[in-house]
């Protein structure tokens, strides 16, 4: 059994699709939806107590998944580098006697959210189309809004064999190989 901790409901949906695409055993996953990055990074969160008391003897591995967010956000744990530092500190402080890995969802510029990560795998023509649309659109369009407007309704719009998925794919495969 493995634990996957994540920020929100959309992450779980994506992870289920991802596990399914690679035929990894979803029935061996215990999910924890922390409902926000700040909650995941809070070592005092009740889920960490629950994991330690109820699951630590039943699992070998844990994966923590967060968004990079935007480094210009005033929260000190935003941006790829700050997220990585906070995750490494969290993992060290948890002191669980299991393998704990992390994955930071972001685009090729190391910013953004799950939606940015997903949009990063689109082909150049699709990316150009969105950029052109964003330029002429009167209001700010975040990656979340673009994803929710144009891609969410599609069942499997992403090629999970895209190289941007390789790191996450390898981490997930490693969790189940031991």
HEC string of 10-76?
HHHHHHHHHHHHCCCCHHHEEEEECCCHHHHCCCCCHHHHHHHHHHCCCCCEEEEEEECECCCCCCC
Topology classification of domain 2-177 = Rossmann fold (3.40.50)
pLDDT exceeds 60 at position 156: no
**pTM greater than 0.85:** yes
Write down the domain spans for the chain.
Answer: 2-177
Query: pLDDT by residue (tens digit) across 5-55?
Result: 999 988 998 899 899 989 999 999 999 999 999 999 999 999 999 999 999
């Amino acid at each position: 059994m493995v634990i996957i901790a994540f920020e929100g409901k959309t992450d779980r949906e994506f992870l289920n699709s991802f596990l399914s695409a690679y035929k990894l055993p979803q029935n061996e996953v215990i999910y924890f939806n922390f409902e926000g990055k700040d909650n995941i990074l809070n070592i005092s969160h009740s889920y960490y107590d629950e994991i330690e008391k109820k699951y630590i003897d039943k699992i070998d591995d844990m994966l923590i998944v967060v968004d990079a967010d935007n480094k210009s956000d005033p929260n000190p744990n935003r941006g790829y580098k700050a997220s990585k530092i906070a995750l490494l500190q969290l993992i060290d402080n948890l002191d669980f006697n299991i393998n704990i890995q992390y994955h930071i969802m972001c685009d090729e510029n190391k910013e953004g959210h799950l939606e940015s990560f997903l949009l990063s795998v689109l082909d150049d023509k699709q990316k150009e189309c969105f950029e052109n649309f964003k330029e002429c659109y009167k209001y700010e369009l975040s990656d979340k809004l673009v994803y929710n407007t144009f891609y969410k309704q599609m069942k499997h719009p992403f090629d999970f064999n895209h190289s941007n998925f390789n790191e996450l794919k390898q981490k997930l495969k490693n969790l189940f190989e031991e």
